Amino acid sequence: MLLEHEGSQLVLIDYQTRLIPAMADSGFVLANAIRLAKLAVLLQVPSFYTEQNPSKLGATDADLQAALMSARAKPLAKMQFSAVEEGLGEMLRPPAKPVQGNARSLPRHLQKQTAEQSNTVVLAGCEAHICLLQTALDLLEEEFEVWVVTDACSSRTERNRDAAFDRLAGAGAELITTEMVAFEWLRTAEHPDFKAVQALIK
C-alpha cells in the first residue's frame, strides 16, 4: 500500500526550542521535519502542529515555524500528551457540508449533511515514545490511517524511540521515511513539482 497524496494531512508534534536539543540526532530529525513542512507547501497538503506546555518548553523551532507558516499550518497548544485529547481529531475532520443543489431536488430523507473526510495522517515529532506515540494510538483508535515518518521522529534515547516504533507498527501504523513521503506523494517524475521536491530532498 502506497501513501496517497489526495486526502493526506501532515501533523508535526512538539518540535520546541527547549525540547529539541535533548533529542537524539536532533539536527537530522529537525531538518526532516522542515522538509516535510516544505513538501506540504509545494503539494498543498493541509498541515497542523502542536506545542506541549509551551510556557515551559518554548515555541516551535524558528526555521520549522517559518515553513509551517508558509504551509498555513494550524497550531494546537496542549497539556495532555496525546494531541487527540486536546481536540486534534476534530481539527483533522472538516465540518459537515450541506448537500449541493436545490433542496427541493432531493427527497427529504436524502437531504442530510455530508462530510468530505480525510483519514490519512502523516505524523512526526518528539518525543516518539510519549506525545507522538499517544497521539498516534489515539488517532488509530479514531480510525485514522496513521503514517509515522521515522527519520523525523526522536526521543532522548534511541531505545525509547525504537520501542515506540515497534509498538506503533504492532498497532497498525505505517512506518515510513521523509523520502518515501515525498516520492509517494509525487508518484511520477512527470509531476509538475518533481524538480522542486527533488531539490528539497537533496
**For residue 98, is it within any domain?**
no
**Whole-structure pTM value:** 0.88
161 is in which domain, residue-wise? Answer: 8-92+118-201
Tally of domains in the chain: 1
Please list the pLDDT of the chain residue by residue as tens digits (202 residues): 899 998 999 999 999 999 999 999 999 999 999 999 999 999 999 999 999 999 999 999 999 999 999 999 999 999 999 999 999 999 998 765 555 555 555 554 444 433 345 799 999 999 999 999 999 999 999 999 999 999 999 999 999 999 999 999 999 999 999 999 999 999 999 999 999 999 998 8
Domain of 24, CATH number, reads 3.40.50.850
**For residue 111, is it within any domain?**
no
Torsion over CA of 184, 43, 144 and 181, rounded to 10 degrees?
Answer: 30
**For residue 109, is it within any domain?**
no
